[in-house]
Structure 1
Amino acid sequence: MSKDPIENLRQLIRCPSVTPAEGGALTALSAQLSPLGFHVERMVAEDEDTPDIENLYARLGSEGPHLMFAGHTDVVPVGDEEAWSHPPFAADIAGGEMYGRGAVDMKGGVACFTAAVARYIEKHGAPKGSISFLITGDEEGPAVNGTIKLLQWAHEKGERWDACLVGEPTNPDELGDMIKIGRRGSVSGTVTVFGVQGHVAYPHLADNPVRTALAMAGALMDPPFDHGTDDFQPSNLEVTSLDTGNRATNVIPAKVSFAFNIRFNDAWTAESVMAEIVRRLDAQTIGSHRGGRGPARYEIVWAERPSHVFLTRDDRLLASLASAIRDKTGKEPKLSTTGGTSDARFIKDYCPVVEFGLVGQTMHMVDERVPIADLEALTRIYLAFIERWFADAAA
């Protein structure tokens, strides 16, 4: 039955696997993969101040070349369940679409790749090489106990991969629109500016840190960090919050904090973009405050583990996937580095990685849903990709 993506997805959606709950989703996937000959292992990762996460690694074959499919079965919360036209974990089909949380992001991709592998085995027998599934339950959460630790665990056990396909929803409008071949980097931080608390009627006795904070925030957002590169859109920094912790309208606050995130392209490294941010902040510490007390004081706390920019240039991987898409859809997929981060940022340290999955228009929304026709079409694309990738490897 695992060669049917509709049934595969129905089983997965009916598992309420909202991060960090496994919800039965990995158990359902294990039941789909084991009859195909996969050796399935469940690995639990843990860390301080984060929930334990159950992950899955399954491999078919013991030799190279080794193709990995990566993804996640955890999903975001459903929000207002009463606003759904169909229960979010019922996997109802209506109007040619299957409704449910995770239908697009990304249980649908997992269901289709499982079906594609089942059809490959039925058509060709076991691959002359290996296929593995690396599936986390922590992609929609803090991503601390998921893919990054599952990769380390598998690598320490001797696993090596030649290429990876991540099944995230990459297509903006129609199946076949876009392959993600890289991602911008991401750095976040919080800046706290210190002043002197006082009465608003006696500002000469105080020092309002909001003045400096606003100047700093403005300097981070303008001028632009760059105007884009050949492969990436421009880097962009956004201030996402500003807070004094002060609720009294007649009190000048003692300090103010603001948070920011920058998505940066390959004109920068995480280290160089952090240095540029500090340079811009330092330039605003003199002259943007008042009180005659010398340079404004501030501190910056960086979020842990910045995401590094990457670009995949593996010709065999890209050609195998692009030709499969052209053959099954008639479309020429755009090679893109747009969007946010994904777990591909961890995988790129182990092997070349690209992303291709369903249309992402309803992901994370009320009434998340996927056309039944797209499930079948994506399964056929994945099957053609597996066939081409192993054939090219043997050539």
Structure 2
Amino acid sequence: MTRALDVTALASDLIRHPSVSPDPGESQIALGETLSVMGFEVFHLPFGEGEERTPNLFARRGKSGPHLCFAGHTDVVPPGQDGWRHGPFAGSVDKGVLYGRGACDMKGGIAAFVAAVSSFLAGRSDPKGSISLLITGDEEGPARFGTVKVLEWMKAHNQIPDFCVVGEPTNPTVMGEIIKIGRRGSINVRITVKGRQGHVAYPHRADNPVHRLIHILNELTEKPLDQGSEWFEPSSLQMTSIDVGNVATNVIPAEAKAALNIRFNDLHTGTALKEWIETVCHRHAPDCDVAASISGESFLTSPGPELDALKASVHDVTGREPRLDTGGGTSDARFIALYCAVAEFGLVGASMHQIDEHVAVSDLDTLKRIYERLLERTVA
């Protein structure tokens, strides 16, 4: 029989395994041992080679549907500068607050789900459905050999769930504020305009690439991309760098570079935006280079039974009606959305990536009880 686990002790134990992205694997080994005792079939799935080698874990309990999956990551960002009141990997509890790198982003979320499963299973016969966890070790990094590869493995082994909850810290200030049902897409673009170097006093003997780059950037930024859509705010194009590298005041440079990022809603695709930027660039500078990297497309999980169950579970425990939201940066949910319905709900994220990252012990317990209610509503 499964015994109920203490969520704070679980979170502290995970924090004590330093796992700066990519996670070297010790935290997932410990997690896998805990899940095995709880009756999960555990698969350790490393992908990548050398320095890119990324540990991943998939664990499942049950064979039938409905199948609820929890997704998260054990890797964390570096501790950063000195000044931590408690060691970043000490997992210390002080006056009802758990401190440590990953406390809210997102080892605390993983601990809350595992503790919720243990309470759900304690004293209960096997549920009708299945419960699984998809845990990666590179969400904070390039995300090349983590969730993307595990999902491919899951599809090949008939392990795709009906609904997935990503335990990212979604709440700005208090538990129960926000469920994220989508994210904007993201594209990074680098533009290089080539010219001919020369003396500024003799411009007819040179070709100034800066002037043409200015025309390109003016056209790209002069109008809004859109006015937003039903669930998304307007798309945003932001220049992130303009660089000539010219230390002389009397030289026309040979090339000029710029970089930009677009966070785009569901009115666009990364490919369409890339083609638009290329068209604008080549209109003003036919021989320019445009290098684009699409890190994720926008996605949206439309309201339905799965989201209703999550919303109701949040309300049961907190008394709040969570707002459905699509703001913020990207997460691994962008990959999961290609396979099944997905939503994000986790802890308060105000301190994530900061010195003294922390989470209230009471919030850990609240999240654990929300996840337990979701299990009762979906797989009991």
TM range (shorter): over 0.9
Structure 2: how far apart are the matches of 1:388 and 1:146? Answer: 29
Find 1:370's aligned residue among 359, 364, 375.
359
Per-residue displacement from partner, 1:43-67 (whole Å, max 9, x unpaired)? Answer: 11116x9611010011111122211
Whole-Å Cα distance in 2 between the matches of residues 89 and 50 of structure 1? Answer: 22
Distance across 1 between alignment mates of 2:48 and 2:248:
42
* Inter-partner Cα distance in structure 1 for 2:194 and 2:373: 60
TM-superposed CA distance for 1:211, in Å, is 1.9
**1:328 corresponds to:** 317
Secondary structure of 1:145's aligned partner: coil
**Is this contact kept in 1: 2:92–2:98, CA < 8 A?**
yes
Q: Which moved more, 1:26-35 or 1:196-205?
A: 196-205
Q: What corresponds to 1:390 in structure 2?
A: 379
- One-letter amino acid of the counterpart of residue 72, structure 2: G
Residue 8 of structure 2 corresponds to which residue in structure 1?
Answer: 6
Provide the residue aligned with 1:17 in structure 2: 19
**Structure 1 pair 246–23 and aligned structure 2 pair: CA distance change class (3 A):** farther
Measured after TM superposition, the shift of residue 161 of structure 1 is 1.2
Alignment of 1:1-395 (within 5 A): 3-46=5-48, 51-80=52-81, 82-283=82-283, 285=284, 297-303=287-293, 305-313=294-302, 315-390=304-379
Whether the aligned pair in 1 keeps the contact of 2:66 and 2:378 (CA below 8 Å) is: no
Write the deviation string for residues 177-224 of structure 1: whole angstroms up to 9, x where unpaired.
Answer: 000001111112111111111223433322221222233223223311
State the 1:261 CA deviation. 1.2
Counterpart secondary structure, 1:377: helix
| Displacement after TM superposition at 1:344 (Å) | 0.6
Q: Which amino acid aligns with 2:320?
A: K
Per-residue displacement from partner, 1:115-157 (whole Å, max 9, x unpaired)?
0000000043332121110000010000000000011012212
Contact 1:120 1:387 (C-alpha < 8 Å) held by counterparts: yes
Structure 2 distance, partners of 1:126, 1:200, is 79
The answer to whether the Cα contact below 8 Å between 1:8 and 1:32 also exists between their aligned partners in 2 is: no
Larger CA deviation: 115-124 vs 197-206:
197-206
Ranges in structure 1 where 5+ consecutive residues have no aligned partner: 286-294
- For the structure 1 residues 21 and 2, does the alpha-carbon distance in structure 2 shift closer, same or farther, using more than 3 Å as the test? farther
Contact 1:195 1:297 in 2 (8 A): no
Any conservation in 2 of the 1:314–1:352 contact (CA below 8 Å)? no
- Following superposition, the deviation at residue 160 of structure 1 comes to 2.6
RMSD value over aligned CA atoms? 1.7
Structure 1 residue 24 displacement after superposition: 1.4
Count of matched residue pairs:
378
Q: Is the 8 A contact 1:55 1:150 kept in 2?
A: yes
Could you tell me whether the CA contact under 8 Å between 2:23 and 2:74 is conserved in 1?
no
Moved more, 228-237 or 248-257: 248-257
The percent of aligned pairs where both chains have the same amino acid is 49
> Which residue identity is paired with 1:367?
D
Deviations along 1:277-302, one digit per CA (max 9) or x if unpaired, are: 2333345x1xxxxxxxxx56312011
Deviation string 1:16-70 (CA, Å, 9 cap, x unpaired) is 10011325110121122111101111111116x9611010011111122211110
Q: Any idea what SS the aligned residue of 2:276 has?
A: helix
Secondary structure at the aligned position of 2:45 is classed as strand
Distance (whole Å) between structure 1 residues aligned to residue 330 and residue 281 of structure 2: 26
**Deviation at 1:10?**
0.4
- Aligned amino acid, residue 21 of structure 1: D
Letter in 2 for 1:78: P
Q: 1:358 & 1:118 partners in 2: Cα distance?
A: 19
> How big is the shift at 1:273?
2.1
Larger displacement relative to structure 2 (157-166 or 369-378): 157-166
The runs of at least 4 consecutive aligned structure 1 residues that moved more than 4 Å come to: none
* Cα-to-partner distance string for 1:301-359 (whole Å, 9 max, x where unaligned): 111x5411111025111011100111110101000011111101111111100000001
Q: Give structure 2 stretches of 5+ with no counterpart.
A: none
Query: Secondary structure at the residue paired with 1:133?
Result: strand
CA distance in 2, matches of 1:390, 1:314: 19
- Output the TM-score relative to the length of structure 1: 0.91
